Structure formats: C-alpha cells, structure tokens
Amino acid sequence: MWRGVLAILRKDLRIEWRTKESLAGFVVLGVLLVVIFSVALDPAPADAPRLAPSVLWAAFVFTGLLGIQRGFVLERENDCLGGVLASPIDPATLYLGKLATNIVLLAVMQALVVPLVGVLLHAQLGTVLPALLLVLFLGNLGFASLATLFAAMTVRARAREVMLPVLLLPLLVPVLIGGVKATEAVLRGGFGAAAGALGVLVAFDAIFVVAGVLLFEQVIRD
C-alpha cells in the first residue's frame, strides 16, 4: 500500500515540478492575501501579533481551495483519471497519495507565508517554531484530508470552483477553529499553552482521514 502511496506522490510532484501550476497559484495567492490583510487591517505594532493566527489561517484556507482541486482537474482534462482508476492501485492508496501531495504543496506555501506574517505583523516565531510547525502539520492534515475528498467529488461538476467551497467550508469549521486557537496559544506560550487545541486538531484529523479512506472509492467512481 505504502509503495503505491509513494508512487502517486512522486508522480504528482514530478508533474508539479514540470508545470508549477498549482505551486505558483499556492505561493502567489498566499503572499497576496497576507499582504492585503496586513495592509487592510493596518494594526498598531503592539496589536499586530494578535492578528497573526487569523491572517495565517484565512490565507491557508483560501489558497488551499484554489490549489488542491487542481491535481484532480489536470488528470480529468488529460483523461488520466480513468487510467489511474483502472490500474491495480486501491482507491484508498490513491486517496492517501493525493493527500500527501496536497500536504507537501501546502507546506511549501507556508514556508514562504509564515515568515512573511512574522515580519508584517511583528510576531515572534523563532522561539516557538517547533510547536508552530506541529500546529501547521496537524492543520494541513485536517484541511487536506477533507479537501482531497471533496475535490474528487466535485471534479466532474461544471461548477466545481463554486461547489467545492460551498460543500467544504462548513465541515472545515472545527479544523479552522482548532488551528486558530492552537496557533494563538503557541504564539503566547508554546506547547504547554496549546495542549487542549492540539488535542482537538488530532481528534478531527483522525476522523477526517479515516472518513476519506473509507469514502473515497464511492466518491471517485460515482
């Protein structure tokens, strides 16, 4: 199973390295959103760090909605999706491979966006970086697990760009609240302050990943 997951991950990352379509959209939109939020809110230096969690997660969500569906759209447009489904790869393996790809793309975007937020909003990130990286990974896992499932569900729809946010955002509320609260707690006090919010994120991640593995076959073949 894991060999299949790695094969899907390598294939998607190789395609992304050649085209750079999803990655370019992730990075450009993420940077633009952070700059726009920072300029529009224009907080005082003393108040700016309190806005960092909200700005970070708003940028992550809107950027992710744009980029995550792109992987399925490319395979749909090039008639590759049918070939992948006809291969001996289990649908759960395909789901986990796509999930891993989306987590990697989100992480690359965040590697540029998070330091930018630290600079623009005067947030001290260096001392809490390990805890912040854990929060980002758990948030990425929860977000990508649902987004990958719903991107596969809506890829055949004509209005997929509209349907994906409408279907996905209500279910993402627990992850977003947990991500914002955990980031806020980490910026205030590190691991100890964020223990409760991290537990919420872990619980929802487990639920969403298991649901994605179980439901992906019905979603992708219907």
Question: Residues near 15 by Cβ (< 8 Å), separated by ≥ 6?
Answer: 74
Would you say 69 and 155 are in contact if contact means Cβ atoms under 8 Å apart? yes
State pLDDT tens for residues 201-219: 899 999 999 998 988 888 7
Residue 146 neighbours by CB distance under 10 Å: 25
Query: Helices 70-77 and 2-19, interaxial angle, to 10°?
Result: 80
State pLDDT tens for residues 161-178: 677 778 888 888 888 888
Query: Which pTM was predicted?
Result: 0.87
**Cα→Cα distances 189→118, 124, 184, 199, Å:** 16, 11, 9, 16
How is the chain split into domains, by residue range? Answer: 2-220
Q: How confident is the model at residue 49 (pLDDT cuts 50, 70, 90)?
A: confident
Per the model's pLDDT, the better-predicted residue between 155 and 148 turns out to be 148
Would you say 209 and 143 are in contact if contact means Cβ atoms under 8 Å apart? no
| 55 pLDDT higher than 70 | yes
- Pick from 99, 66, 100: which is nearest to 220 by CA? 99
